[in-house]
Amino acid sequence: MSAERRTATIVGGGVIGGGWAARFLLNGWNVRVFDPDPEAERKIGEIIDNARRALPGLYDRALPDEGALTFFDDMAEAVAGVDWVQESVPEQLALKHKVLGALSQLAPRGAVIGSSTSGFKPSELNAEGARAIVAHPFNPVYLLPLVELVGTPERTGPAAEVLRSIGMFPLILRKEIDAHIADRLLEAVWRESLWLVKDGVATTEEIDEAIRMAFGIRWAQMGLFETYRIAGGEAGMKHFMAQFGPALSWPWTKLMDVPEFTPELVDLIAGQSDAQSGHLSIRQLERLRDDNIVGMLRALKRSGSGAGGVLTSHEAALDQAGSKDGLPITAQRQVPSSWTDYNGHMNETHYLEAASLATDRLMEMVGAGPEYIASGRSYFTVESHIRYMDEVRAGEQITVTTQVLKGEGKKMHLFHRLWRADGALAATIEVLLLHTDLATRRSSLPDQPVAEALAALAEKHAEMDSCGAGRFVGERRSGE
Ligand SMILES: NC(=O)C1=CN([C@@H]2O[C@H](COP(=O)(O)OP(=O)(O)OC[C@H]3O[C@@H](n4cnc5c(N)ncnc54)[C@H](O)[C@@H]3O)[C@@H](O)[C@H]2O)C=CC1
Ligand SMILES: C[N+](C)(C)CC(=O)CC(=O)[O-]
Tell me which of 9, 16, 74 to substitute to probe ligand 1's pocket, judged by most ligand atoms within 8 Å of the beta carbon. 16
The chain-wide mean pLDDT, for the chain, equals: 93
- 361-403 pLDDT, tens per residue? 999 999 999 999 999 999 999 999 999 999 999 889 999 999 9
Beta bridge partners of 9: 32, 85
Predicted complex: ipTM over 0.95: yes
Give CA–CA dist 207/204, Å, rounded: 5
Ligand 2 centroid distance, CA of 136 (Å): 9
Instruction: Extract the annotated binding site for NAD(+).
Output: 12-17
Q: How far is the CA of 181 from the centre of ligand 2 (A)?
A: 11
Distance CA 48, CA 60 (A): 20
Residues 320-461, CATH architecture: Roll (3.10)
Mean pLDDT of 173-195: 93
- Residue 101: band (very low, low, confident or very high) from pLDDT cuts 50, 70, 90: very high
As for ligand 2, residues whose beta carbon falls within 6 Å of it are 118, 138-139, 183, 186
Q: Domain 183-279 class?
A: mainly alpha
Task: pLDDT band for 479, please (50, 70, 90 cuts).
Answer: low
Name which of 141-155, 363-377, 466-480 the model is least confident about. Answer: 466-480
Helix 282-303 vs helix 307-316: angle between axes, to the nearest 10 degrees? 80
Ligand 1 in reach of 116 Cβ (< 6 A): yes
Where residue 1 falls among pLDDT bands split at 50, 70, 90? very low
Domain ranges of the chain: 2-179, 183-279, 320-461
Domain covering 2-179, topology = Rossmann fold (3.40.50)
Query: Are the C-beta atoms of residues 11 and 86 closer than 8 Å to each other?
Result: yes
Instruction: Please report how the helices 282-303 and 40-54 are oriented relative to each other, as an axis angle in degrees rounded to 10.
Output: 30
Cβ atoms of 142 and 22 closer than 8 Å: yes
286 lines ligand 1 (CB under 6 A): no
| pLDDT (0 to 100) of residue 2 | 42
Q: Which of 167-176, 240-249, 285-294 has the lowest mean pLDDT?
A: 240-249
Helix (H) or strand (E) holding 325: none
Q: Is the pLDDT of residue 20 over 80?
A: yes
- Fold match flag (183-279 vs 320-461): no
Please tell me which of 136-140, 256-260, 313-317 the model is most confident about, judged by mean pLDDT.
Answer: 136-140
Residues 159-171 have a mean pLDDT of 97
pLDDT bracket for residue 260 (50, 70, 90) = confident
